[in-house]
Structure 1
Amino acid sequence: MSESSLTPASEDVTVHGVHVVIIGEPAAPPLLLVHGSGATGSMWAPVVASLATRYRVITIDLPGCGRSAPMSTYTVARQADRVAAAMDELGVGDLRVVGHSSGGYVATALVERRTDLVGGLVLVSTGPSHAALLPEPAIIRALTAPPFGPLVWALRTGSMIRRGLAATAAAPITVPDSAVSDMRRTSYRAFRAILAANVDYIATRPVPERLAEAGKPLLVIFGDRDPRWDPASAHDYEVVPGAQVHHLRGVGHLAMLEDPDALARSILDGAP
């Protein structure tokens, strides 16, 4: 699905420093889409139109990413608090929240810290613990790791960003131009701080254990060829009472770009 097929945004605002785009009928139930590390809300573009047939779709740029303001510290809890403040200001409640990759940590923290705000949770390619992490592709290390990471990051082109993303996919992808443009806004400092915060979050306690106590409906979606997190680790979430686990065939880490129709169907059919 092309970006041009998207329904026009009903709102495009920045609230509490968080850039928010809202698409869909105001009376529809709200669905918040949370991107992963180094990405932005515009990464969800290929699935938004489909999801907006049923939901009022809300995409955000997490703090320090894309068009959102930076923070002094990027703990996952503080990121979640900033997102919650934005949702409160917009008058949005009873959210269904979809988190991609490490965006699932922010989504989980929202459940932990604001159980009143979240009605159900969908995690897409969200690693449950460090044990599930697979070796990082070489191009991503080149883009992000010290000592040369800051220089490469500053000089990175749209082509480099697309190649880095493609290294985490199992199928050919088309990255929206808006996503590339927004990703280039993110500073190296913010990116590294966010990565460190994610490491701390799952080192403190694995995600399935956190959600097992939360009492919220959960759908877990993984590509069966994910090169970043062991696809079999999706079953770690089965400790969460009533959790549904779904694998997308032939899909890697970027389901919204690799098979947006399959991802949208999975969310529409199974979102709690």
Structure 2
Amino acid sequence: MHFELHGRQDPAAETLLLSSGLGGAGAFWAPQLATLGERFRVVVYDQPGTGRSPAELPADYRIQHMAEDLLALADRLELDHCLFMGHALGGLVGLQAELLRPGLIRRQVLVNAWSRPNPHTARCFALRQRLLRDSGAAAYVQAQAIFLYPATWIAEHGERLAADEAQALAHFPGEANVLRRIGALLAFDVDAELGRIQVPTLVLANRDDVLVPWTSSQRLAAGLPQATLQLLEWGGHASSVTDPATFDRVVLDYLSQALEA
């Protein structure tokens, strides 16, 4: 599994693991690396079956498989504790990892994540599955921006999106892998187990997210014993890309509290 280390590398540096969403590639976090790297040793990785971690995912692929991969990475890095941030599917990976190994994560940020499926998000992913099956990878990749970004941002970044889509299509992980990853996130449900997760958590959501309603984050925060809910007004599902200055400030303020504890 491909991973990279960024930021501080001194022995005193706290390690921050970043887990990406459905796309799975660590490059998603590029806008955050410089800012977060000033305070932390930052680890990004390409989840198996995505990016530079080629693999044929099993038919019964689930979030638990992804959490086990995350724990294997922590073992490889010889971590007995760390900080964590996960975006959407990446947040689900963090929740599952905590259920499998309590105590590894000492503070975390979950961005536009959820504890159980909701009808709106299920509808969106069902459409994306159908688009991939019926129209192919090019159409799937082109439609992705509609689910990730605000309309105004899309209108202003046409050239960037065209370049991003060409890159995504050139490194597309294959229809089977994408469909199995979508199936895994649609099957995820830890709503009844949230009380077991005692990690201080910032649940960060965007009111204008068209893929995951912010009320899913509200429900997640209500179920976690040590959670704080913070809502951003603008930025869509991927505000780490569309408004990195605001996103980074909020995240850094919260995670830096771990250094002061």
- Taking structure 1 as the reference length, the TM-score comes to 0.79
Q: How far is 1:39 from its partner?
A: 4.0
Q: Where does structure 1 lack aligned partners over 5 or more consecutive residues?
A: 1-17
Q: How far is 1:194 from its partner?
A: 1.2
Going from structure 1 to structure 2, the CA distance change for 1:64 and 1:238 (only over 3 Å counts) comes to same
Are residues 1:69 and 2:54 paired?
A: yes
Counterpart for residue 232 of structure 2: 248
Are residues 1:169 and 2:142 paired?
A: no
Counterpart for residue 181 of structure 1: 167
Q: Where does structure 2 lack aligned partners over 5 or more consecutive residues?
A: none
Show CA shifts across 1:221-263 (max 9, x none).
0011111121133221123223111111122101111111111
Counterpart for residue 124 of structure 1: 111
Q: Which moved more, 1:83-92 or 1:242-251?
A: 83-92
Are residues 1:149 and 2:136 paired?
A: no
Q: How does 1:58-97 map to 2 (within 5 A)?
A: 58-70=43-55, 71-72=57-58, 73-97=60-84
Q: Aligned partners of 1:59 and 1:239: how far apart in 2?
A: 28
Show CA shifts across 1:53-73 (max 9, x none).
111111111111111132334
Q: How far is 1:179 from its partner?
A: 8.4
Q: How does 1:1-20 map to 2 (within 5 A)?
A: 18-20=1-3
> Quick one: which amino acid aligns to residue 42 of structure 1?
A
Identity of aligned residues (%): 23
Contact in 2 for aligned 1:134/1:228 (Cα 8 Å) = yes
Q: Aligned partners of 1:24 and 1:240: how far apart in 2?
A: 30
Contact in 2 for aligned 1:30/1:93 (Cα 8 Å) = no
Contact in 2 for aligned 1:97/1:121 (Cα 8 Å) = yes
Secondary structure at the counterpart of residue 2 of structure 2: strand
Higher helix share: 2
Are residues 1:22 and 2:5 paired?
A: yes
Counterpart for residue 260 of structure 1: 244
Contact in 1 for aligned 2:98/2:197 (Cα 8 Å) = yes
Are residues 1:230 and 2:216 paired?
A: no
> Quick one: which amino acid aligns to residue 54 of structure 1?
R
Counterpart for residue 93 of structure 2: 106
Q: Which moved more, 1:103-112 or 1:230-239?
A: 230-239
Counterpart for residue 215 of structure 1: 198
Two-structure CA RMSD over aligned residues (Å): 2.6
Contact in 2 for aligned 1:39/1:179 (Cα 8 Å) = no
Contact in 1 for aligned 2:205/2:217 (Cα 8 Å) = yes
Q: Aligned partners of 1:21 and 1:123: how far apart in 2?
A: 21
Secondary structure at the counterpart of residue 189 of structure 1: helix
Q: Aligned partners of 1:168 and 1:151: how far apart in 2?
A: 20
Q: How far is 1:178 from its partner?
A: 7.1
> Quick one: which amino acid aligns to residue 200 of structure 1?
A
Which 4+ stretches in 1 moved above 4 angstroms?
134-138, 173-180
Q: Aligned partners of 2:54 and 2:247: how far apart in 1?
A: 29
Going from structure 1 to structure 2, the CA distance change for 1:132 and 1:210 (only over 3 Å counts) comes to farther
Q: Which moved more, 1:232-241 or 1:170-179?
A: 170-179
Q: Aligned partners of 2:27 and 2:98: how far apart in 1?
A: 23
> Quick one: which amino acid aligns to residue 168 of structure 1?
L
Q: How far is 1:196 from its partner?
A: 1.1
Contact in 2 for aligned 1:225/1:251 (Cα 8 Å) = yes
Show CA shifts across 1:141-196 (max 9, x none).
3x5316x626511xx28xx6355224432251556867863573311111111111
Number of corresponding residues: 244
Q: Aligned partners of 1:54 and 1:69: how far apart in 2?
A: 31
Q: Which moved more, 1:127-136 or 1:72-81?
A: 127-136
Going from structure 1 to structure 2, the CA distance change for 1:51 and 1:162 (only over 3 Å counts) comes to farther
